[in-house]
Amino acid sequence: DENGLAVGDRFFGVPRHSANFWTTYEPQEGLLKGFQVGGGVNLQDSQTIQPNSAGKTGSIPGFVTVGLMAGYSFDVGKTKVSAQLNVDNLLDKRYYTAAIPADVTNSTIDRTLFVNFGAPRTFMGSINVEF
């Protein structure tokens, strides 16, 4: 058709499958009341790369990343104070989120790609005060 794909083909740069699962646990009483832990995984299938000027195409591999979080909340009078630490890409997986072929016609460099790298292991903390 007009976008260069056969009926039923995936669009370039779109994974066939992706999933995200996240869960948290927070005890409601006892010594650990106010403490919260959680974790999750993000899965993404491979993506087809748009053909280059020579008509060649390919794909970038899928990936799985893992995240964790820990937090604690407590009350000070009528004020609620919460602190949280998140770790994304815990295993520091090197992955690509997109790839586009370079628009070149020189046959010696027709495999050149511009790629977007996924974020490395990242730590983010927050403190929240509700009054």
Q: Which long-range contacts (CB under 8 A, 24 or more apart) does 18-21 make?
A: 18/42, 18/43, 18/44, 18/45, 19/43
Please say whether the beta carbons of 119 and 89 come within 8 A: yes
Strands (E) across 18-95 are located at: 18-25, 35-44, 47-49, 58-60, 63-76, 79-88
Record the pTM: 0.76
pLDDT of the chain, 131 residues: tens digit per residue: 555 667 777 788 888 899 999 999 999 999 999 999 999 999 999 998 877 666 777 889 999 999 999 999 999 999 999 999 999 999 999 999 988 877 655 555 555 778 899 999 999 999 999 99
- Judge contact between 73 and 47, C-beta under 8 A: no
pLDDT of residue 110: 54
